[in-house]
Amino acid sequence: MAATTDREGGPTMADDVMLEIEIDSTDEATVRAIEEALAEVGPQRWGQTREVVTILTIAAGAVALVNALLDLKKRLEKPATPPPTIVIKNVNRLELNISDATSETLRELIESSSD
């Protein structure tokens, strides 16, 4: 069987990884647009939080996560209004602001989830 690679040629990971997406907004239209952008990795919205943020969890293989998050980053770079701050966190509570995300930094965040 041939090895699978992501869009930028990096190796894939076989197991699903769970990440937490913290959106600095509770605006329903904004959150729904982000959920739709991440639809391929099955975002699940947390119930009410005490903070004025919305939390989504996503779980998928590493390649799907990297690709979906980079696609979301591209969408956020072209809005008519400033996008909310979005922070990606792994199970070890390491975090990455989506505006700083690259294929490499996302892979590092995902790989550190399985350590």
Q: Is residue 12 part of a domain?
A: no
Average pLDDT over residues 89-107: 95
Q: What is the CATH number of the domain that holds 47?
A: 3.30.70.1710
Q: Is residue 11 part of a domain?
A: no
Rounded to two decimals, the pTM is: 0.77
Average pLDDT over residues 14-29: 89
Give pLDDT tens digits for 53-87.
889 999 999 999 999 999 999 998 887 778 899 99
Tell me the H-state helices in 1-115. 28-37, 62-76, 103-113
| Total count of domains within the chain | 1
Q: Strands across the sheet with 17-23, in order?
A: 44-45, 54-60, 17-23, 86-89, 95-97
Q: Is residue 26 part of a domain?
A: yes
Q: Is 44 helix (H, G, I), strand (E, B) or coil?
A: strand
Given a cut of 60, whether residue 10 has pLDDT beyond it is no
Q: Is residue 2 part of a domain?
A: no
Q: Is residue 32 part of a domain?
A: yes
Q: Is residue 45 part of a domain?
A: yes
Asked if 23 contacts 86 with a C-beta cutoff of 8 angstroms, the reply is: yes
Residue 41: partners with Cβ closer than 8 Å, 6 or more residues away: 58, 59, 60, 64, 65, 68
Domain that holds residue 74: 17-113
